[in-house]
Structure 1
Amino acid sequence: MSSAPPNPRRWWTLVVLTLPVLIISMDATVLGFAVPSLSASLAPSSSQLLWIIDIYAFVLAGLLITMGALGDRIGRRRLLMLGAAGFSIASVLAAFSTSPGMLIAARAMLGVAGATLMPSTLSLIRNVFSDARERQTAIAIWASAFSFGSALGPIVGGFLLEHYWWGSVFLVGVPVTAALLLVAPRLVPESRDPSPGAFDVTSAALSLVAMIVTVYAVKMFAEHGLSATVFVAAIGGATAATSFVRRQRRLADPMVDVSLFSVAKFRMAVSGNMIAAFGFAGSLFFVTQYLQLVVGMSPLRAGLQLLPAAGASITFTLLAPVAARRFGAFAVTAAGLTLGSIGFAMLTQVTAEGSVALTTAAVMILNAGLGASMTVAIDGILSAIPPERAGAGASVSETAIELGVALGTAVLGSVAAAVYRRGLVDVDGVPSEAIDVSRDTLGAALGAAERLGREPGDALRDAASSAFVDGFHAAALVATIAIGAVAVWAFRTRFQRQPIVESADVVSMDAR
């Protein structure tokens, strides 16, 4: 343990550091609920809709390593405040977007700003809480704020969507960023690496290219299959990633200590973080649309319906550190991911007629499990990083989370979209032009059904809802298998006795 006296205001500092988590989780949640009204207003294509959702996570994931290293050098609190100001400006631009292209650009700007927020909060927690047990509790509270924001977002967003235009949901975070800018200078201590090396622009560019191009290749492959574009993007991403890793090994002061990835338990912690975020994002993308467009709930009603799931996530997130100390971190990770896999398996059984109770129970189970596994994985990653490199270390955790979010919507969304398009064939009494329009999104299909009138409209609505549910089933099955596989990996890792790091100053994820 560190011999330095604890910060007397550390718990108030933690309260301030949860505000960016609330911003980002609320922003992600309300966007999911705004998809139907956004689609009706801006009429994006299915590809544009996925980019509206994905581009934020793509840019954020690509810049996290760079911003984490930058925060170590210029000051983590300073970077946090710059990000909060930028997030406010980008939110206003997103709220008043007049075209899909403008909204995509605004979401990209939000990604740039968001990349400064998340590593700053985790790195500050790593430095403020030197005691390992207190840090575990602080991370659990930090993670539960994500669940609380996810629960609050639909309720606030649902109210706004019922009374105002879709763009109002992007303004939800502006009061939070304003509060952050006011209180952070008073309650959050500044911290930085006391002996930082020179900022490596080449490494920053390589990490950005590797992340964005690789995720783009995965997205295009899932949506369109193998093509020359996918092949070139995959090669480009792999080349940039390889160059980045080789450069980090040569540098005396690298952005990321890639040698940590040679340790099985560190790899498992990062992978567990990523697959949990994958499940969270994927389930939110589908369940919100299912409840609104298939079941017919209003945004506010759908948000309230998912409130028990958020409560389960918060509860299990807060209990995870206690369980990890009793049973071992990897036992908790394995159990949590198993619950996540079970929850997705339950989602493969929902029907187009409306399975509200089953959907609610499934999301409760998967949220509880994924929340617990993510909490202990984050602590495992931060425990392996010296406090002076906390920004770079936190960026590894956040990169895993945001890559998981990007892949959750890109891969699962693309799988579902492909099944939906193939399943929506000719419908008796419905013009081929209406079918062509309907193949873009379920929202477009419901709009076409409304214009057609009674009998043909009802037929198109039923066919489109059935095709959407088939796509939902396919995506849920992919998630079930992927999360289940990582759960098995976590269970096997539990029996590997070596710690992540050999240090008396940190508590690593143990092997019990």
Structure 2
Amino acid sequence: MWNGRGRLAGAGDEPDAGQRVEDEPSGRDGRPAGVQPVDLGGALARSSTVRGRPRGISSSGSVLPMAALILTAGVFGDVHGRKKVYIAGLAMCAAGAALALSAGSIAMVWAGQALSGLGAAALLPTTLALISHAVPDPRERGRFIGLWATSLMTALACGPIIAGVILDHAAWRWIYLLPIPISLIALAVAARLLPGSRAAGTRRLDWPGQLTAWRRS
């Protein structure tokens, strides 16, 4: 349990990954009242328990697959079609969030985070490639890339604040709810309106290069 002095009692007692997750009401860790940006991994560690014992849930479960596969996803989009990879990324983000939202064990949360990370790896390179294809004029393209970067920075700034609001008023699992409708709406719009594109020529996957990139990640 959280003892209010900045330490976790019994934190060295590690449960198995398959043990059941139970929600613990927020507000037992001595945090000041009001909405604050939160460290998601630390907040989840304090607000989730496994059979009554604290268990950390790391956000690196989504960051590591994204970092390892972002280059591979970009090449897949160039070879097989960027629209296909973009739609697949949105579907994986929605499925991963739904899996984490309904998780009954720590392992299910990790699986959901990993699936969302795969979706993010598919989205980041394909969105830039789709912008470049849809806006051939270099000056106009720079404006749209600036909007793309601004949207990413806005999400990074607002995400911890939204997570803090949710953790102050509900169980930790509800932080995974919002990405589901957003991903599904974007998927429906992209499937109907987004033009497809792929790299010109006969580009192929460089498997030795991809394996090297994975190892370095």
Q: Where does residue 167 of structure 1 map in the other structure?
A: 173
* Deviation, structure 1 residue 37: 4.5
* 5+ long unaligned stretches in structure 1: 1-29, 212-512
Contact 2:40–2:59 (CA<8 Å) still a contact in 1? Answer: no
Within 2, Cα distance between the matches of 1:139 and 1:197?
25
Q: Where does residue 35 of structure 1 map in the other structure?
A: 42
Q: Where does residue 181 of structure 1 map in the other structure?
A: 187
Which of 70, 76, 80 aligns to 2:82? It is: 76
Within 2, Cα distance between the matches of 1:105 and 1:77?
25
Q: 1:33 to 1:56 in 2, by over 3 A?
A: closer
| Aligned pairs (5 A) from 1:464-503 | none
Contact 1:63–1:208 (CA<8 Å) still a contact in 2? Answer: yes
Q: Where does residue 331 of structure 1 map in the other structure?
A: none
Contact 1:34–1:166 (CA<8 Å) still a contact in 2? Answer: no
Q: Where does residue 142 of structure 1 map in the other structure?
A: 148
* Deviation, structure 1 residue 155: 4.6
Q: Where does residue 100 of structure 2 map in the other structure?
A: 94
Larger gyration radius, structure 1 or structure 2: 1
Within 2, Cα distance between the matches of 1:68 and 1:195?
16
Contact 2:73–2:125 (CA<8 Å) still a contact in 1? Answer: yes
RMSD of aligned residue pairs (Cα, Å): 2.3
**Which has the larger share of helix?**
1
Contact 1:80–1:116 (CA<8 Å) still a contact in 2? Answer: yes
Within 2, Cα distance between the matches of 1:156 and 1:93?
20
* 5+ long unaligned stretches in structure 2: 1-36
Within 2, Cα distance between the matches of 1:207 and 1:155?
33
Q: Where does residue 32 of structure 2 map in the other structure?
A: none
Give the share of equivalent positions with the same residue, in percent.
Answer: 29
Q: 1:179 to 1:209 in 2, by over 3 A?
A: same
Contact 1:84–1:117 (CA<8 Å) still a contact in 2? Answer: yes
Q: 1:31 to 1:83 in 2, by over 3 A?
A: farther
* Deviation, structure 1 residue 107: 1.6
* Deviation, structure 1 residue 64: 1.0
Q: 1:33 to 1:208 in 2, by over 3 A?
A: closer
TM-score, structure 1 normalization: 0.32
Secondary structure of 1:90's aligned partner: helix
* Deviation, structure 1 residue 34: 6.7
Q: For 1:205, give the aligned amino acid.
A: L
Q: For 1:173, give the aligned amino acid.
A: P
Within 2, Cα distance between the matches of 1:77 and 1:114?
14
| Aligned pairs (5 A) from 1:360-375 | none
Within 2, Cα distance between the matches of 1:97 and 1:158?
20
Which of 43, 55, 69 aligns to 1:44? It is: 55
Q: How many residues align?
A: 177
Q: 1:155 to 1:53 in 2, by over 3 A?
A: closer
**In the alignment, does 2:137 pair up with 1:109?**
no
Provide, for residues 176-221 of structure 1, a one-character-per-residue CA deviation record: whole Å limited to 9, x for no partner.
Answer: 111111111333211101322333333333321232xxxxxxxxxx
Within 2, Cα distance between the matches of 1:186 and 1:95?
28
